[in-house]
């Protein structure tokens, strides 16, 4: 079902429910159970659409990859990359005792960075649950000396500080024997051959139920790993319906690198802006769902002590701005250590991004892509009738722009300094004096 068709169905549903209420008020005969069902369905759809609008406005989130793989400190794929069997990998759990973890500090860091939501791994491909699940003993409460539920602490702190919380959940599982037949990965795990995939999917739905009923309001579920067995029968409609039933406003997205599937509420792109595929596996199709780009702060998702290739603050800011100019959120990742600490290289960069957003957030939050699409020199964002020109990389004094309807002038966002803007051959030419430029992002307001 296309997104256009779905929108028509939602509008029809809302109109039907409204008409039913009016008929009942006017004395027309309508069974009470049908009226209640129509009204409930309309309310559920309204909650979901409102959540999508919030997501579009949020623009910036914190991604956290954290699990037992932080003990060897070689990234979240260490079990697969080093061909570690389950029997050996399980020995990392007794070494995992993250006493330095502080939900308050992490949520406060996200907030100071200007982030509006957090997405954290509840279960990654190694199958290790970072929460108090009753479905398996392979979890942080039962298998480690830490014996606490950090996701519960994080959820409580997010609710206190007004930050939305998403749970990442890997559909791929290198540990569970019922994840069978194997897909593209996990062949060195040493699991017995054979298993019941439907039983695994029941296990997955049971864990999702725990996450959606025991942690308060959850903003959404961020799936990953379906690409491991793209042709399998994943029972997606059953799982997606379960999520929307338990929490109607919870958004569903999947990092499957395909066109969005019915029941998904946002589309994600890994290490790429929508339409790009520099990573080599992204879908170039862009839907009209809310969009998100996930990105590492260095080269790894999970903590890797050997990875010192940290992106600079200017590069990170430009990524955020380009994402906003493409109608896309930026989900920027950190990987805490085995102790639960956030390394200084991560926290410093996030705080500097937050300082930039304090000065320039009006041109990012709540905006939509502006009238000039992505260009090598930068992007435009728009809020109402106000258009912001973000000039990220342009060395010359004059910048040629396409024609923008209704533009009468231009001024710098900071200081309201007027700039010369002239019409030329059906377009516009903007003069940018050297003293007016910002080394990271020169923001110009196009006056209407």
Q: How many CA atoms lie within 13 A of 55 on its CB side?
A: 29
Contact predicate 418/410, CB 8 Å: yes
| Residue 142 in this model has a pLDDT that exceeds 50 | yes
Q: What pLDDT, on the 0 to 100 scale, is given for residue 21?
A: 38
* Greater pLDDT, 260 or 37: 260
Give CA–CA dist 267/259, Å, rounded.
8
Distance between CA atoms of residues 33 and 30, nearest Å: 9
Among the listed residues 191, 79, 83, the one whose alpha carbon sits nearest the alpha carbon of residue 128? 79
More confident residue, 277 or 140: 140
Segment 21-56, tens digit of pLDDT: 343 344 444 566 666 556 655 666 899 999 999 999
- Asked whether the predicted pLDDT for residue 315 surpasses 60, the reply is yes
CB 195 within 8 A of CB 228: no
Say yes or no to pLDDT of 93 above 50: yes
Q: Determine the 3-state secondary structure of 221 from DSSP.
A: strand
- The predicted pLDDT at position 30 comes to 53
Rounded distance between C-alpha atoms, residue 171 and residue 91, angstroms: 23
pLDDT of residue 74: 98
Residues 111 and 159: beta-carbon distance below 8 Å: no
Confidence band for 219, pLDDT divided at 50, 70 and 90: very high
Nearest to 187 by CA among 274, 85, 322: 85
Residue 434, pLDDT above cutoff 50: yes
Over residues 354-367, mean pLDDT: 98
Q: What pLDDT sits at residue 295?
A: 98
CA angle 139, 141, 143 (to 5 degrees): 60
pLDDT at residue 289 greater than cutoff 50: yes
Phi, then psi, of 363 in degrees rounded to 5: -85, 0
pLDDT score, position 36: 58
What is the model's pLDDT at position 8? 40
The residue that leads in pLDDT, 105 or 9, is 105
Superfamily for domain range 378-447: Golgi alpha-mannosidase II (2.60.40.1180)
Distance CA(9)–CA(48), nearest Å, equals: 14
Tell me, what's the pLDDT at 277?
A: 85
Which sequence spans correspond to the domains of the chain? 3-48, 58-364, 378-447
pLDDT at residue number 37? 54
pLDDT at residue number 27: 43
- Give percent of the chain above pLDDT 70: 90
The predicted structure's pLDDT at residue 360: 98
Q: Which of 7-16, 177-186, 191-200, 345-354 has the lowest mean pLDDT?
A: 7-16
What is the model's pLDDT at position 283?
Answer: 82
Please give the Cα distance from 28 to 185 (Å, whole number). Answer: 60
Choose among 209, 92, 111, 210: nearest CA to 159. Answer: 111
With CA atoms as reference, report the closest residue to 293 among 273, 318, 310: 273
Whether domain 58-364 has CATH 3.20.20.80: yes
| Residue 42: predicted pLDDT | 64
- Dihedral sign computed on CA atoms, order 63, 69, 71, 74: negative
For residue 3, the model assigns a pLDDT of 47
The overall average pLDDT reported for the chain is 92
Q: What pLDDT shows up at residue 44?
A: 63
């Amino acid at each position: 079902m296309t997104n256009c068709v779905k929108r028509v169905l939602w509008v029809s549903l809302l109109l039907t429910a409204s008409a039913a209420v009016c008929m009942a008020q006017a004395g027309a005969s309508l069974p009470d159970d049908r009226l209640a069902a129509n009204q409930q369905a309309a309310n559920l759809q309204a909650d979901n659409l409102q959540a999508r609008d919030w997501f579009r406005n949020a623009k910036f989130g914190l991604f956290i990859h954290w699990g037992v793989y932080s003990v060897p400190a070689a990234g979240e794929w260490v079990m697969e990359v080093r061909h570690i069997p389950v029997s050996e990998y399980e020995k990392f759990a007794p070494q995992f005792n993250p006493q330095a973890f502080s939900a308050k500090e992490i949520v406060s860091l996200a907030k100071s960075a200007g982030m509006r939501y957090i997405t954290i791994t509840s279960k990654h491909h190694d199958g290790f649950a970072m929460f108090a699940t009753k479905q398996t003993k392979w979890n942080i409460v039962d298998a480690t000396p830490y014996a606490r539920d950090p996701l519960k602490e994080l959820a409580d702190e997010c609710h206190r500080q007004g930050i939305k919380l998403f749970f990442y959940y890997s559909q791929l599982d290198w540990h569970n024997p019922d994840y069978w037949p194997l897909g593209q990965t996990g062949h060195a795990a040493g699991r017995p051959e054979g298993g019941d995939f439907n039983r695994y999917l029941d296990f997955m739905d049971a864990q999702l139920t725990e996450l959606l009923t025991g942690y308060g309001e959850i903003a959404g579920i961020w799936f990953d790993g379906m690409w491991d067995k793209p042709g399998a029968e994943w029972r997606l409609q059953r799982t997606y319906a379960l999520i929307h039933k338990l929490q109607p406003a919870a958004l569903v997205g999947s990092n499957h690198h395909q066109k969005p599937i019915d029941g998904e509420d946002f589309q994600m792109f890994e290490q790429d802006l929508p339409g790009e595929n520099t990573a080599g596996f992204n879908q170039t199709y862009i839907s009209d769902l809310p969009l998100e780009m996930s990105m590492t702060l260095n080269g790894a998702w999970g903590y890797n002590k050997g990875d010192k290739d940290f992106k600079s603050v200017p590069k990170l800011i430009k990524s955020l701005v380009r994402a906003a100019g493409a109608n896309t959120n930026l989900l920027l990742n950190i990987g805490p250590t085995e102790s639960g600490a956030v390394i200084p290289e991560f926290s410093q960069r996030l705080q500097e991004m937050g300082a930039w957003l304090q000065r320039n957030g009006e041109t990012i939050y709540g905006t939509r892509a502006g009238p000039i699409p992505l260009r090598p020199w930068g992007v435009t964002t728009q809020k109402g009738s106000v258009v912001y020109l973000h000039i990220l990389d342009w060395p010359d004094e004059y910048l040629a722009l396409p024609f923008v309807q209704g533009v009468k002038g231009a001024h710098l966002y900071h200081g309201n300094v007027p700039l010369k803007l002239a019409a030329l051959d059906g377009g516009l030419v903007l003069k940018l004096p050297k003293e007016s430029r910002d080394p990271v992002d020169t923001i110009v307001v196009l006056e209407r």
